[in-house]
Structure 1
Amino acid sequence: MLDGVATITRDKARIKELWNFILKTWFTEGEHDPRITAIKITRARATTGITSTARPSPA
């Protein structure tokens, strides 16, 4: 589970940094496509659903 605050940005420098050519499949105008946004998540808390039942071996 991820708990935090998400913000949407259209920061051109950040989008250029994250750009990957495969994204052109969806954003046909490339990294300058007006439909592109980036989502920044500021994590407040993160947990996994994995628990361990392993116990240390007796010495």
Structure 2
Amino acid sequence: MSEQTYSDIQRKKNSIIDSLIHLGIYKKGNKQLYELTLHELETEYHIVNPAIQDLSF
């Protein structure tokens, strides 16, 4: 994976984590948000905020 791709993924993960924290979500099960994959974070975001279809962070 290129450094640019990794950086883009980290930036998107951080944005989703910030949004989840703003919504009052700090953990999923026994995992902290930063331990989740991008896919897991996107799935959790859609669960807690189903009205949002586009995750363009």
Q: Which structure's CA Rg is the greater one?
A: 1
- Give 1 or 2: higher strand fraction: 1
Instruction: Give the TM-score of the pair, scaled to structure 2.
Output: 0.30
If the length of structure 1 is used for normalisation, what is the TM-score? 0.30
Greater length-normalized contact order (CA 8 Å, ≥ 6 residues apart): 1
Structure with greater helix percent: 2
